[in-house]
Amino acid sequence: MKHPLRPRTRVRLPAEWERQAGVMLTWPHADSDWGDKLAAAHAEFLDLACHIAHYEPLLIVCHDASVRDQVAADLGARQVDNDRIAFVLCPSDDVWARDHGPITVYQEGAIPLLLDFTFNGWGGKYAHDLDDLVTRRLYATDTFGTTDCRRIEWILEGGSIDSDGQGSILSTTQCLLTDTRNAGMSLEQVEMQLQQRLGASRILWLHEGDLEGDDTDSHVDMLARFANPETIVYQQCDDPADPHFPKLQAMAKELAAFRTLQDRPYRLLPLPWPAAQYAEDGHRLPLSYANFLIVNGAVIVPQYMDQADEEALSVIRRAFPDRQVVGTPARTLIGQHGSVHCVTMQIPSAVQLPGLGKTVSAA
């Protein structure tokens, strides 16, 4: 963007590394797209949930009581304390909580507000009617206590934005300007929405960079992430023979041109490039180590059974020296074109989660 935005109200989108009340997961179920991979998806969700529960509480959305019973039993068998889990029975189309869960902002300093943006299945690509109702159903059953929630009739997915907590938002024009979301809106109009809704003072737009098999139209959480207000971690491609090489090299140049709020170049940490993996129908999968999740005291990083897995953990440790860095299996998740960050949504610390240790129905 050419000029700084000036938010009219004191709204702030917190950074993911700020203190959290918990993490939301929407559990896979038989009526979603997993087919014969459902058991493998359940296993990867269990691993992820156990990692998260070691650091903070869980809000688990279950399609029905049978899913809840299985999840509760399996987590209990892994010694996860039920008092650290809030179960909500709520129908869903799929598991991508990053995009159908609430985006939380702080008003006037520390007053949280849940924003329920419209979700249309990444531009109408997939079923989404149930997912678009998840946040309002959770709110209607007091899942978030007295925290207020506002419905926004504008399409925005959590995976398409990343915040430094100080007014800078990282995003991609490929996603936010696609006509299948908010048709006909100019870049300036999109920026005004991000200013008004999220308190953005500036948008760092990436025009380059995409991954084959990513059906979100280039969500930024698969490409580049803030690690702190001066550091960006990004997915590089260092293989000139790979079709991704030109676009990800161009994206790296864009990142190098960005400046911090102190007008300094960002510290840039490139993540290793994993070997290509393919779906059963032959299309390439969008493997990315940038799709990590930050929780209280730790960073949880996807692992793809690739030689680059350990190097990715090492880079993340450099980016987050004061946090533990934990790998979690994500090969089944990436088979559905998403990863660890895509299936989670952090709930900032000022939001209440009064249902811990209970099961509530929002069906």
The residues carrying an active-site annotation are: 342
CA dihedral of residues 173, 174, 178, 181 (deg, nearest 10): -80
Distance CA 36, CA 41 (A): 10
User: Contact, 230 vs 193, CB < 8 A?
Assistant: no
CA-nearest of 1, 7, 345 to 157 is 345
User: Contact, 72 vs 79, CB < 8 A?
Assistant: no
Sheet holding 324-329, edge to edge: 293-295, 298-303, 324-329
Q: At what angle do helices 65-77 and 38-53 cross, to 10 degrees?
A: 60
Instruction: Tell me the two tokens of residue 152.
Output: 């926004």
Q: Give the CA radius of gyration of the chain.
A: 19
CB atoms within 10 A of CB 152: 14
